[in-house]
Structure 1
Amino acid sequence: MDTTADLLFLNEEVALRINPFSEGEYLVIQTHPQEKSLKVSKRSFDYESAKKYCELENLGHDYATFELRIFHDGNLWTVDASGNRRRISQQQDWKVAPQYLEAIHDNDNHGEIIVCFCSYPYFHGVTAQISGSGEVVEFWHSVTCLVDDHGREIHSCPNCHISLVDELDDDSDDFYQQITQPAVCIGCANYHGQEYAEELLICAIHPYGWDGVSCPDFTESDNNKLDKTVK
């Protein structure tokens, strides 16, 4: 027999927070500003309904951006104009390990969870080591903080591969180039990276980019060859 608690799952607001995502479900998510956990505004199996809701959310918010994703094989994917899967999304349902959430509220702990431009959360904190002279030396470092991968020291984002050092100083030209260029395309002569009608053209061979970690049509750019020669 259903209890009052069971019936809560029929409430849409509760379902958004608790019910697991289903295969083929469309999700309207907030992509800006980034938060430590995925913020879902609407869930639906109807593409047109989800698309219309996403458009209305973007019209109704001046300081937030919403995009449409589809849930497939445990991950979020971007969709094309027909609602079909296109490529895996950089925004995912990241699960931060509880100890890192607790650490940011600890006044004795000098650290914080930072959300990368791509949505990936990581922990940036202070650690201490004993130097050769016996002195305690403190320095800042970044580690992963997800439930299934935490405590691993990182220097670049595991999700989009940009340098975390550059991101902390995000006025640099290198940072802005990295956040718009897929990692698999860095150094490729075929990369185009220009927008047409609000659609990013990655290159003429793969307009929407390459989903794998190694593109078969990668061609090293002349600038990259020159850098290697100089070094």
Structure 2
Amino acid sequence: MDTAADLLFLNEEVALRINPFSEGEYLVIQTYPQEKNLKVSKRSFDYEIAKKYCELEGLGHDYATFELRIIRDHKLWTVNNSGYPRTISQQQDWKVSPEYLEAIDDNDNHGEIIICFCSYPYFHGVTAQTSGSGEVVECWHCVTCLVDDHEREIHSCPNCEISLVDELDDDSDDFYEQITQPAVCIGCANYHGQEYAEELLICAIHPYGWDGVSCPDFTVNNN
């Protein structure tokens, strides 16, 4: 016999928070501003319903953007005009390990979780190291903080490969070049980003870039 707790899972609001995502399920997610956890506004197995909801969400918010994704092989994928998976999404359902969430609430801990431009969360904190002279010095460093991948020191984002070392230096020319790259192009194999006669060529397909948050010609860079 079903209990009151069992019936809660039939409530859509509860399902959004508790039920695991299923293969072939469409998700309307908030792509800006990005948060530590995936923010899902709508779940549906009906493409047309999810698409219409996504369009309405976009019209109803001035300071947030929403996109449609589909679950395939436990990952988020972008969707083509027919509702089929197109390319793997840079924004995923990242799961931050609990100890890192606790660390940012600890007043004695010097560190924070930073969200990369592509949505990937990582921990920027202080570690004590011993110099050649035996002096203990504190150094800032970046480490992974996901449930299935944490405590690994990184110098570039594992998701989009942007340099995290340069990110700590606002005056870095290399970092400036990376952040001026359109967000929709990060990780795309077609991105060129070179100047010719003082004109920036984004790529051969869209010389002036794609005016939107999801380019139809995005190709995953496997290098």
List aligned pairs for 1:133-152, cutoff 5 A.
133-152=133-152
The one-letter amino acid of 1:64's match is: A
Shift of 1:198: 4.0
Asked whether the 8 Å contact 2:156–2:162 carries over to 1, the reply is yes
Secondary structure of the corresponding residue to residue 15 of structure 1: helix
Summarize deviations over 1:153-204 as a string: whole Å, max 9, x none. 0011000111113444398233222743426456799943544564876xxx
| Identity rate, percent | 71
Which deviates further from its counterpart, 178-187 or 44-53? 178-187
From the superposition, tell whether residues 35 and 152 of structure 1 become closer, same or farther in structure 2 (CA, over 3 Å).
same
Partner of 2:217 in structure 1?
208
Partner of 1:217 in structure 2?
none
State how far apart, in whole Å, the 2-side matches of 1:140 and 1:199 are: 33
Asked whether the 8 Å contact 2:122–2:142 carries over to 1, the reply is yes
The one-letter amino acid of 2:31's match is: T
Shift of 1:57: 0.8
State how far apart, in whole Å, the 1-side matches of 2:28 and 2:123 are: 27
List aligned pairs for 1:1-231, cutoff 5 A.
1-168=1-168, 169=170, 172-177=176-181, 179=183, 180-182=185-187, 184-185=189-190, 191-192=203-204, 193=206, 194-195=208-209, 198=212, 208-211=217-220, 213-214=222-223
State how far apart, in whole Å, the 1-side matches of 2:58 and 2:15 are: 22
The one-letter amino acid of 2:176's match is: S
State how far apart, in whole Å, the 2-side matches of 1:127 and 1:185 are: 38
State how far apart, in whole Å, the 2-side matches of 1:56 and 1:199 are: 16
Asked whether the 8 Å contact 1:166–1:174 carries over to 2, the reply is no
State how far apart, in whole Å, the 2-side matches of 1:119 and 1:106 are: 24
Asked whether the 8 Å contact 2:160–2:186 carries over to 1, the reply is no
From the superposition, tell whether residues 38 and 8 of structure 1 become closer, same or farther in structure 2 (CA, over 3 Å).
same
Question: Which protein is richer in helix relative to its size?
Answer: 1
**TM-score, normalisation: structure 2:** 0.85
From the superposition, tell whether residues 24 and 172 of structure 1 become closer, same or farther in structure 2 (CA, over 3 Å).
same
Shift of 1:137: 0.8
**TM-score, normalisation: structure 1:** 0.82
For structure 1, the residue ranges without an aligned partner over 5 or more in a row are: 202-206, 215-231
The one-letter amino acid of 1:63's match is: Y
How much is the aligned-residue C-alpha RMSD, in angstroms?
Answer: 2.4
Secondary structure of the corresponding residue to residue 181 of structure 2: helix
State how far apart, in whole Å, the 1-side matches of 2:150 and 2:45 are: 33
